[in-house]
Structure 1
Amino acid sequence: MNAPIRIDFISDIVCPWCAIGFGALEQAIQRLADEVVVEINFEPFELNPQMPRRGQNAVEHIMQKYGSTAADIARGQDSIRAGGKSVGFHFDLEKRTHFYNTFDAHRLMFWAGLEGLQRPLAHELFAAYFTQGQDISSAETLAGIASTVGLPEDQARKVLASDLYIKEVREREFHFTRRGIHAVPVVVLNERQLITGAQTADYYEQALRKSTALT
């Protein structure tokens, strides 16, 4: 096999198209399992860095931020559900009632990266938020989710109650916004090829094949 392909997946937990893009990327990786080796790094991006910890009603937030009407929101939700179905991810948008501050979730993801557990944690965080409607700004919720992927729950609580990884997450956020990334999801292959928006599995597969040919 060729050298591993580095994949930086820049995303936010409350971004539905990030969940869809992640699912499509995984489908592409699975198709190429016998041909390529990948290393996925989940990088932080906050859609709403000023969001209060208590969150904001989802419909209210979308109307306020984007000027959407109820009809716009309904159409958008239909597209999100269809996108989720295409990658085997279930969106229960009736349970997803709020947008939450995600900074602590990104700190948890950074720690998971040090333990080699980012990928399963991403699965659990997206499902907790979009399928189960959990408050992913809550330290107790996050610690419980961490435990499902093998991170010690008590240690997760200590991490979230401390200042650990605040500096590192801020630096990673700044690194990518400085490169002109202001919306997610974004996939960066081998720190060179940048793919914006949630793409199809076919698209990611072709990009990975091309990246392999260049290594």
Structure 2
Amino acid sequence: MNNSERPLRIDIVSDVVCPWCVIGYRQLAEALKQTNTAHEIHWHPFDLNPDTPPEGQNLREHIAKKYGSSKEESDASRAMMTKAGAEVGFEFNFTEETRTYNTFDLHQLLHWANQQGRMHDLKQALFAAHFTNARNIADTEVLADIAAEIGLDRSEALAVLTDQRFAEDIRQSQQQWRQQGIQSVPSVIFNQKHLVSGAQGVENFKNILQQLAELPD
């Protein structure tokens, strides 16, 4: 148990097109719930595939090109992710048509949502839009629709995406995390001191939280 009166600060550097980012977050969320840990989560942008073209890229082709994975290896990875997702209540729907997208605009929309205290909600909606419902999360109209679906102003969301007003904020944030050595996601930083990389699993996250609770402030 974390008996500290001060909530645990959790910074999560992630990208919406990263399947292990949503799995890892869901595992962490379950661990936080089971340990009754008071916490505050801060999301930060990371471009997993900054060179993805505007129309996106077939995921299987992308993985084969980036990692040299065979179809069999890709299928095994998809099965593993689907199982891990289901264990924490998240649905992956991989098909031969599944695509990956450039997320630079999406991160700008999240930055805007953060100013209204809704970044977390939008992040979860975007994970579902991409992995569960196969929506084009690089399309500004689709992004504006998703913002509206969680109660944000659609026309303002569209304006943010059109005029790129937060582009420099996102570039600076991404650069700052790279300068701190973040090269892969998810990267979870507890109390701005303790870095944990990857989807650790609920039990491992629980152990981490319990160890953190025992540290002196």
Shorter-chain TM-score tier: over 0.9
- Per-residue CA deviations over 1:145-193 (Å, capped at 9, x if unaligned) read 1112221111100111112111111111111111111111110011100
The equivalent residue for 1:183 is 184
Alpha-carbon distance in 2 for matches of 1:90, 1:12:
17
The equivalent residue for 1:94 is 95
What amino acid sits opposite 1:143 in the alignment? A
What amino acid sits opposite 1:2 in the alignment? E
Q: Contact between 1:96 and 1:131, CA under 8 Å: does it hold in 2?
A: no
Distance change >3 Å, CA 211–CA 5, structure 1 → 2: same
Alpha-carbon distance in 2 for matches of 1:57, 1:20:
21
Q: Contact between 1:143 and 1:154, CA under 8 Å: does it hold in 2?
A: yes
The equivalent residue for 1:170 is 171
Alpha-carbon distance in 2 for matches of 1:207, 1:9:
15
The equivalent residue for 1:15 is 18
Alpha-carbon distance in 2 for matches of 1:7, 1:164:
27
What amino acid sits opposite 1:29 in the alignment? L
The equivalent residue for 1:145 is 146
> 1:126 offset after TM fit, Å?
0.5
Alpha-carbon distance in 2 for matches of 1:106, 1:96:
24
> 1:121 offset after TM fit, Å?
1.1
What amino acid sits opposite 2:82 in the alignment? R
What amino acid sits opposite 2:5 in the alignment? N
What amino acid sits opposite 1:10 in the alignment? V
The equivalent residue for 1:103 is 104
Alpha-carbon distance in 2 for matches of 1:212, 1:108:
34
Residue segments in structure 1 that go unaligned for 5+ positions in a row: none
Alpha-carbon distance in 2 for matches of 1:21, 1:58:
20
> 1:57 offset after TM fit, Å?
1.0
Residues 1:3 and 2:16 are matched in the alignment: no
Distance change >3 Å, CA 96–CA 136, structure 1 → 2: farther
> 1:96 offset after TM fit, Å?
6.0
Distance change >3 Å, CA 93–CA 177, structure 1 → 2: same
What amino acid sits opposite 1:50 in the alignment? D
What amino acid sits opposite 2:122 in the alignment? L
Name the SS for the 1:203 alignment partner. helix
- Among 29, 38, 60, the alignment partner of 1:26 is 29
Alignment root-mean-square deviation, CA: 1.4
Relative to the length of structure 2, the TM-score reads 0.93
Q: Contact between 2:56 and 2:100, CA under 8 Å: does it hold in 1?
A: yes
Q: Contact between 1:110 and 1:165, CA under 8 Å: does it hold in 2?
A: yes
Alpha-carbon distance in 1 for matches of 2:116, 2:20:
26
> 1:213 offset after TM fit, Å?
3.2
Alpha-carbon distance in 2 for matches of 1:45, 1:92:
23
Q: Contact between 1:95 and 1:133, CA under 8 Å: does it hold in 2?
A: no
- Per-residue CA deviations over 1:69-103 (Å, capped at 9, x if unaligned) read 11110111111111101111010011761111001
